[in-house]
Structure 1
Amino acid sequence: MDPTPLRVAGAALRRLWAGPDYPAVRLPRRRWPRLAAVASTVGLLALVGLTLITAQFLLDSRKLPTATAWLIAFLTVAPLPLLLARPLWAWRIMFVGQLFGTFNRRPTDDWPWSPTQILIILGVLVVVASRVDRAVLAWIGLFSLLPVWIFVAPRNQVGICLLFVVLLILGDLIRRNVSTRRALAEQAERSELEQARRAVLEERTRIAREMHDVVAHHMSMIAVQAETAPYRLGEVPDPARDEFAAIAGSARAALTDMRRLLGVLRSDSEQARTDPQPDLADLPALVASAQRAGMAVTLDADVPTDLPAPVGLAAYRIVQEGLANAARHAAGAAVRVTVRADAGELAVRVVNDGTGAPGPDGRGGGHGLTGMRERAVALGGTLTAGVTDDGGYAVHARLPCDGEDITS
């Protein structure tokens, strides 16, 4: 015989009578403080009224002493305020009241409890069944049925037992439904967090790949130029020749390390990208493409032609994402793209006037701003984004273009 069910049943029995109670249900008092205060006052008055009704019933029909009637009335009503905070204690007090509530009953009575006590017993069973584990619930059902078989008239025993069982099953179904919904909500939250984390990682990986393609080209040029320099310069002293060789070796070693990094970033199934990366020279084509799609875009660009390739790529991607966000969140708005080089920095600004409406994909929740900010920070720059005074939206990036932050 498997001892596991016996251990589970024994542990459930110990918890029922002497174990820790279940966590309390937290009510949203801070959200509706006035309603909570009114509900507390009404609940207190209801408890006092139920106690008076039960005590009066026992005094009139059972002819009990006043102190005994009030004690049984208190045991009858006491479980109610404990249902949400201490469900096991609520049932324990209810069970004691269920036993003592039959005190001095008449043999001809079909029901050994007062009408108030019957309603409270039924309510406690449903609420407690919706809070406790199934093993504990089985013991609660067994102990709650004992007074029925002892004190209830034989012709009513089967009906009352079936009613108790149905209420316990109903409470258990409520508990399972609440647990399932809570688990689904937690799973959905974890999925959203995982999707957000994955989107950020994918954007970072894409940026790293593009940076690799750009920097690898320049490192290759450095290695080639360092190797051919002695032949192009003619007579070169040996120390200088050795220095050129060292530069070429360092450049090729850096290329090898970058290829290893790229091998980690790229999946096995993805083909290597060989297309040239865009830069600021491709901005007019990008704006023209947006205009053909129906956007009212104007471009004001005045930048030097010798801009570092990583800066040009980052600026292009920021403008590309800014136009995509404008189309997504402010469809029909006029968009102005400004690119200026000043004091060793490249200023990129994408602004819409706020007259548009959200497009079909304007629900939000993407990671475009995160990707743009990471591109700017990777180059030692900054990016700010926010609502303008006229209700539009502006993205402003400043990227160093003097080469110091890019090569460091």
Structure 2
Amino acid sequence: MTESRCRSRRPWIWLLPAGALLVVMAAVPLLGLTWPFVIILLLGFAAVSLWAIVRLRVERAEHKAAMARRDAAEAVLAERLRLARDLHDLVSHGLGMITVRAAAAAHLHARKPDERALLAAIEDVEAISRAATVELRRMLDALREVDDQPARHPTDTLASLPEIIDGARRAGLRVELHQEELGSVSPGTQMAICRVVREGLANSARHAGSTTVDVRLARTRTAVSVTINDDGPNRGWAVRPGAGHGLIGLRERVSSLGGTLTAEPRAKDDGFCLEAVIPEGAA
């Protein structure tokens, strides 16, 4: 039963006992009714009032149950949508790193054949694909869970940054991390920071090859910022653009926290800058 239907019925329920009382009050002086008949009318009035009260309570309980089911369904749907976005980030990042590592190895091997470097690239591709497969299985398990169980999904924290950067280095990027003391940072902001770093490194790898990337995390009194600067594409590197959904999803995630995302080429050279500023209270 919808909320509008419940609201439309409630005034009519209360009008029934009120109308019955008015009928009794008007009938006694006008018709000269005897007391036994008046008592019967009063009993009828009491019965109608009792029915109205019971009916109102039943409808109210049904309405609350319906709202609870709707809220639970919306919570599950919201969690599934978050998992879907995380799944997209995971798959696109893992496949992007594999593609870039393989392409970089082929590019370097064509310029200077080196079987050891080629073998190292194959081992890196295997390691990246294994890690992505493990996380993919965890997230798919969460998506398969029944609705009355809380969904479990991997959550990135600031402690995940070294692993994220190591993966980018294995893919051929030269990454330097400069992190100030950030103090206490909320879980949502930590996850957003990791997503910005993942997407920024993946974009640098796709568009610039084995370039140098500077990752900086800083904090002011009211916000946490993460900035990713790369030195631009290597000479002879063929750009491998993605679908273009990564930055759109990233901007949505950052803006949902009240932050801003800037992604633009650097004016002084061929490099690219990705910066996110996310509001965060005092440490």
Shorter-chain TM-score: which interval?
0.3 to 0.5
TM-score by length of 2: 0.47
Higher relative contact order (CA 8 A, sep 6+): 2
